[in-house]
Amino acid sequence: MADSRQHTTESYPAWTPADLSEWLDRITHKFPERKVTLYRRLATDERMREVWAWYESIRNQLHRYQGGSPVSFVLMVEQAMRMPGKPGNMPPKKRTQYLESVRHHADALINLLNDTRFDCAWDGATEVDAEDDNAEGKIGEHVLSAQSFVNSEPGGGDIPVAYVATPDGLYKLPWDYPHSHLSETLYDLCLWAQDDDYWGRGGLTSSKFIRQTGPNARVIYFNCQLYEKFVRVGMEIPFPVLATVANVALDLPVDRQTDEDTVRKQVRRNLQREGHPEALPRLDDSDLPF
């Protein structure tokens, strides 16, 4: 079997994984420049030579959906760089006060809106037969009818066209959405402030709040996040490798670069505080079509 790291692309070092260099060639001028710059730095910086040698040695132990490719590793690094948004980026005491205030005001508004037209999230919702062969066409007709109505109105205006998918089925929400859904949104806001994070604008991916402030917060957050991501897929990234990735990915200046001992202390303090993350179940991916 040919070594997957061998390739003939002259713009990359010989040790750059071939599938990573090929992917970079495909996305150049298609992805934002700042992303491509990061990906290329991870693929070509001389310090990454040993990182990719280590990754090649363990990649066969990773299932494809768990990051078993150089591209997945690069995207994992990029995700670990993403700092949480408000209030996850606030100091702990201020964050606690902020979330308590959000819950208090949202709960008060829910009570004030009880039994009004803003408190009828499912009133008028119509179930859509998703198994109907013409379901997609009917949804399209619904959207077009809204457009026709708006065009015929002298004053114009906007009409939201909304559907909600639940385990029980697909539903078309009434024309007065999102007004009729306001109380439901406020309930979600209370849960958001009570239970967890989703503090960035990524949508589906959680991001832990930061516990540190100051100039080193970004480095500490990155190291702890990337270490945890590997633990969750049943692997441990060596501390020298983690330090190198941090220096390259974050493009740290010489006087602020981190090292193995510093990274080890940061990660171990975080594990003592947060507990050791559980590994994700290793599902059989042998029948996946990719």
Q: Of the ranges 135-139, 150-154, 181-185, which one carries the lowest mean pLDDT score? A: 150-154
Looking at residue 195, what is its pLDDT?
Answer: 58
pLDDT score of 205: 40
Q: pLDDT band at 42, cuts 50/70/90? A: very high
Task: Return the pLDDT at 154.
Answer: 67
Two tokens, residue 148: 């026709």
**DSSP class of 176:** T
Question: Per-residue pLDDT averaged across 245-250, rounded?
Answer: 97
| pLDDT given at position 13 | 94
Q: What is the pLDDT of residue 31?
A: 93
Give the sign of the dihedral formed by CA 277, CA 283, CA 286, CA 288: negative
Q: Give the pLDDT score at 140.
A: 80
Residue 18: CA count within 13 A, CB half-sphere: 7
Q: Lowest mean pLDDT of 47-56, 212-221, 258-267, name the range.
A: 212-221
Any idea which of 16-25, 176-185, 220-229, 251-260 has the lowest mean pLDDT?
Answer: 176-185
Buried (b) or exposed (e) across 70-100, using 16+ Cβ within 10 A?
A: bbbbbebbeebbebbeebbbbeeeebeeebe
CA distance 277 to 133: 45
More confident residue, 140 or 244: 244
Count, residues in the chain: 290
Question: Cis before residue 70, ω within 30 degrees of 0?
Answer: no
Mean of pLDDT over the chain: 79
Closest CA to 73 of 209, 241, 197, 203: 241
Lowest mean pLDDT among 33-42, 115-124, 239-248, 278-287: 278-287
Q: What is the model's pLDDT at position 201?
A: 44
Mean of the pLDDT values across residues 114-143?
76
Confidence of residue 46 (pLDDT cuts 50, 70, 90): very high
**Average pLDDT rounded to a whole number, residues 18-30:** 93
* pLDDT exceeds 90 at position 206: no
Mean pLDDT of 65-78: 80
Query: What backbone torsions phi and psi does residue 53 show, to the nearest 5 degrees?
Result: -65, -45
Residue ranges of E strands in 156-248: 163-166, 169-172
Band (pLDDT 50/70/90 cuts) for residue 7 is very low
> E strands along 18-177, which residues?
126-128, 163-166, 169-172
DSSP 89: T
Is residue 93 scored above 60 in pLDDT?
Answer: yes
Token pair listed for 229: 């991501």
Is pLDDT above 80 for 60?
Answer: no
Mean pLDDT within 200-227: 69
Closest by alpha carbon to 52, among 98, 13, 16?
Answer: 16
